[in-house]
Amino acid sequence: MSDVVVSCRHVTRVYDEGTVPVHALAGVDFEVHSGEWTSLAGPSGSGKSTLLHVIGGLDRASSGIVEVDGQRLNELSETELSDLRLHKIGFVFQAYNLIPVLTAAENVEFILQLQGVDAAERHERARVLLERLGLGSLGDRRPGELSGGQQQRVSLARAIIADPVLLLADEPSANLDSATTRELLNLLRQINEEHNMTMITATHDPIVIGYVKRHVMMRDGVIESDEFGSKAPKADGSVAIS
**168 touches 92 (CB < 8 A):** yes
The distance from CA 225 to its chain's CA centroid, rounded to whole angstroms, is 21
Distance CA 23, CA 43 (A): 15
Total number of domains constituting the chain: 1
Q: Specify if 13 maps to a domain.
A: no
Judge whether 147 lies within some domain.
yes
The residue ranges of the chain whose pLDDT is under 70 are 1-2, 230-242
List, for residues 141-173, the tens digit of each pLDDT value.
999 999 999 999 999 999 999 999 999 999 888
Which pLDDT does position 174 carry in this prediction? 84
On whether residue 171 sits in a domain, the answer given is yes
What is the domain-level CATH number for residue 178?
3.40.50.300
What is the reported pLDDT for 172?
87
Q: Provide DSSP, 13-34.
A: EEE-SSSS-EEEEEEEEEEEET
Strand partners, 65: 9
Q: Per the domain annotation, does 28 fall within a domain?
A: no
Q: What is the pLDDT of residue 240?
A: 39
Q: State the pLDDT at residue 230.
A: 53
Where in the sequence is the domain holding 194, given as residue range(s)? 36-54+77-228
**Taking the model in full, what pTM does it have?**
0.89
- What is the pLDDT, as a whole number, of residue 175? 83
Q: Which amino acid is at 122?
A: R
